[in-house]
Structure 1
């Protein structure tokens, strides 16, 4: 049984320091600790990586292809994997910045379509009704888990990483229990916004159903350049009506309202009227110089 690694030796420029996992976050790992973390067992120089998780505690893991000494508490034997599929496997699907950008743009286009245009689109994409072949037996396939991150493999959960299916789009009135814990693309009109130095909350609405979009500490750790920019959204919704927000994040149940909420993890995961928040901030910056 694998033993969890909760501490590591930070070694750089001839100096050493023991770190607990709670002392490391995604920002400090990328800027300072990456490539410099090692096993705490004496005489074991196995390299470690930091695995960031939001819903569960983060942890350290053995770096790819690194081995612990046989006397080390964290020693394990590597077993060669064979080809095949199993329902117990998990494949992490990484959403690259480019995929997010294209998905958000498409969602905004759909949000702006008239009912007539939507009907035309539906008829255009309809396929002939073919008789489905009879299913014989059952093929086990790996579970798919979407990971919204720009980080490298060592901060992605799962055994494999590959490009997966398109992320499902949902207007604010279309969320259901089956979406909880999964990544979805939200389409909604911005009703209001509140923000502070380390958090922001945007209430979206669609057909009188509301979804709260949350930008928490992890968002600002991943995208520190977005600090101090959310006031631009407040200014924009005060100037314009029916402002569309598209956002990719993890769906959760809101503890206070029992409704749904969407947690966004990085700056490339949302747009306001098809603009990134940085583009919106730049717009107002130029305007103030005119």
Structure 2
């Protein structure tokens, strides 16, 4: 069962944090590794789970247990570890799959604008719960990672495997653990665009953190021949306007200059103000 409040504990004090405001906490990066159960005398450590298919929530840290009187107490059920000793393969995502991800980002952003970020508190009743304890030996399996790059081993749906999910990130949550994987990005606005002979770089921000979005050789090889001109038009608009345009994408997370950034591989894999770039330019 998801948990919606936690105690952030450091050397000096303790602070109650709520799930609907936690990402904006001024010490978010430190706090996310120092969360504990709110029930009195319960030592269980908690971890933050960002929004994906389910709403953001806290959950109990692996192998940390709540005391029996705690409202969040559960009994662990032992099962085999599913991912150890498994082979790993990459699967290319279809444009339709990526379009669905970007459309979902648009839908949820519009929903936030219309309804606000109201969080429904949950009323808990104590009952017997179980959770998975992956302490038994692992079984052999294939771990499929999604990719938008040129090195995919499988095409989406090939071999009877389902399309793997793409983890959602915003600039607050994007971190070193994402490097080398495909992620979706939301909650960013375009601050600046740089164009040179070899690549285009979008500098995006959420007001607190910044990130570079790279468009390089593979992108232009797989895009319409006029797409660079469209990017130049967008740069001119950004340079002359005081408006902040929303940016969302699906791409590979890379490390450049000791920082975490993203690489876009195809022209259909990003949106400006929730629109495909040619459509966005046409509507201005």
Output the TM-score relative to the length of structure 2. Answer: 0.58
Asked if structure 2 preserves the Cα contact closer than 8 Å seen for 1:88 and 1:142, the reply is: yes
User: Tell me, what secondary structure is at the counterpart of 2:229?
Assistant: coil
Higher helix proportion (structure 1 or 2): 1
Asked if structure 1 preserves the Cα contact closer than 8 Å seen for 2:91 and 2:153, the reply is: no
Is the deviation greater in 131-140 or in 243-252? 131-140
Output the TM-score relative to the length of structure 1. Answer: 0.56
Higher strand proportion (structure 1 or 2): 2
Matches for 1:1-290 after TM superposition, within 5 Å: 87-112=85-110, 113-114=112-113, 117-120=116-119, 131-133=129-131, 135=133, 137-140=136-139, 141-148=141-148, 156-157=152-153, 162-187=161-186, 188-225=188-225, 226-237=227-238, 238-239=240-241, 241-255=243-257, 258-283=258-283
Asked if structure 1 preserves the Cα contact closer than 8 Å seen for 2:179 and 2:255, the reply is: yes
RMSD after superposition: 3.3
Question: C-alpha distance in 2, partners of 1:142/1:267?
Answer: 30
Cα drift, residue 277 of structure 1: 1.4
Cα drift, residue 240 of structure 1: 5.6
Q: How many residues align?
A: 192
When residues 123 and 182 of structure 1 are mapped into structure 2, their CA distance, relative to the original with a 3 A threshold, is: farther
User: Tell me, what secondary structure is at the counterpart of 1:175?
Assistant: coil
Unaligned runs of 5+ in 2: 1-82
Question: C-alpha distance in 2, partners of 1:283/1:115?
Answer: 22
Question: Runs of at least 4 residues of structure 1 off by over 6 A?
Answer: none
When residues 116 and 156 of structure 1 are mapped into structure 2, their CA distance, relative to the original with a 3 A threshold, is: same
Cα drift, residue 147 of structure 1: 1.7
From the CA coordinates, give the structure whose radius of gyration is larger: 1
Cα drift, residue 168 of structure 1: 1.3
Q: Deviations over 1:91-134 (max 9, x none)?
A: 323311111111112223334524963334x779xxx9972245
Cα drift, residue 172 of structure 1: 1.5
